[in-house]
Structure 1
């Protein structure tokens, strides 16, 4: 199985190649110039492996949630590549990828659920909780909320007592009272973790056509639900 994964979600730009369990990655921590960096990184990753886009079984990308601009850049690039090569796409949760990456970087956290949080601005975070047994599925519904509401949800949940936190969303002071053992707020999303998660999804038959690929904007979904409620009244 060969998958090419791209990400520009959380202040970094990365491309990874999954080749029958072996993963290689180009990763740059840069807030800007993602559009100029991404395709050259794709070319370099493929060239180093002696492979072409046509050799891929599928492409993988973060579907969100995350920065609107960052998501659009990676998704647009993947759609263009998938169209050109006539390949399917495997969308992966950006929060799941963040949690998988921090478990990779902290072996002592491998058996515990990770609460992944990305800054959604306006005093809110995108968040979800991911266990190693089902790394693509949040134990609580992915949401965008105020940090205080996240802390309340964690305290009221029946999640295991051993929890860890990951991601730049954890900088809010309200999280100081969160029921977690430790936090890595410097953790970023890596395409290598998207590739690993996409490989699991691909084996389970999960894929989309390039036309079907859409970013997941949790805030947009909530706004749409409110509008629908108002219209029905």
Structure 2
């Protein structure tokens, strides 16, 4: 089985291609240029692999939470490519993908992930790996750092820039965390790793039915908030 994966949930843009034998990944610091860069990255990866969309078995995408614009770009491109090639889609939670990166890189099996959600909020979730798959301990939410629900046990690994942006959150988890990596972000290769068994199990949707996971449903800021530097 060969799949394509896309992510544009942060300032990083990534695409991955592969299957059970591993994934080739292309990653760029795209800033606000995801819509310009993602399709050329996909085309380059397909060309390098000597394959085409018609030979793939599905497309995965980082469903969210994350940048509203980025989530729409990744989902929209996945839908367009999926419709054109008659491929089914799997949306993967970005925070779960961060946990998967921590597992692959460090062997972590209890991971809490946090991304800066702007507006003085953080996207947060906690997952535990049972040896086969990630189990959701705390579902992805958007909340003020002081209000995020935390695991009641210790021995956790923390990942993501949300902990470095909000010192209040880092202080709250300090007694529960044994190791951390604030540099981990959602990546297409991790998204592909989580999507592959779901495709194999038939846990996919038609391209028309794919939707982002926004978590926070406010999609705009006021003129006053923009003037103050607020962003979603």
TM-score of the pair, normalised by structure 1: 0.86
Q: Which stretches in structure 1 are left out of the alignment for 5+ residues?
A: 222-233
Distance in 2 separating the partners of 1:127 and 1:167: 9
By percentage of residues, which structure has more helix? 1
Report how far residue 99 of structure 1 moved: 1.2
Q: Residues of 2 paired with 1:68 and 1:77: CA distance?
A: 14
Are residue 176 (structure 1) and residue 174 (structure 2) matched? no
Distance, in Å, in 2 between the alignment partners of 1:27 and 1:193 is: 12
* Distance in 2 separating the partners of 1:216 and 1:163: 25
CA distance in 2, matches of 1:116, 1:103: 12
Count of residues paired in the alignment: 213
Alignment of 1:119-130 (within 5 A): 119-130=116-127
Query: 1:1-233 to 2 correspondence within 5 Å?
Result: 1-105=1-105, 107=106, 110-133=107-130, 135-150=133-148, 153-154=149-150, 157=152, 159=153, 161-171=154-164, 172-174=166-168, 175-178=170-173, 179-220=176-217
Moved over 3 A (4+): 134-137
Instruction: Give the SS at the match of 1:147.
Output: coil
SS of residue paired to 2:18: strand
Q: CA RMSD in A?
A: 1.6
Q: Report the Cα offset of residue 214 of structure 1.
A: 0.8
Aligned to 1:229: none
Give 1:83 deviation, angstroms. Answer: 0.8
Deviation at 1:111, TM superposition (A): 4.1
How many angstroms does 1:194 deviate by?
0.4
SS at match of 1:219: coil
Deviations 1:100-151 (A, max 9, x none): 112323x2xx24311011111111111111223264442122211111222x
Matched-pair contact (CA < 8 Å) for 2:30–2:37 = no
CA distance in 1, matches of 2:134, 2:179: 22
TM-score, length of structure 2 as denominator length: 0.86
Q: Give the SS at the match of 1:17.
A: strand
1:25-59 alpha-carbon deviations (Å, 9 max, x no partner): 10112212111111111111111111110011000
Structure 1 equivalent of residue 224 of structure 2: none
Structure 1 position 183, deviation (Å): 2.1
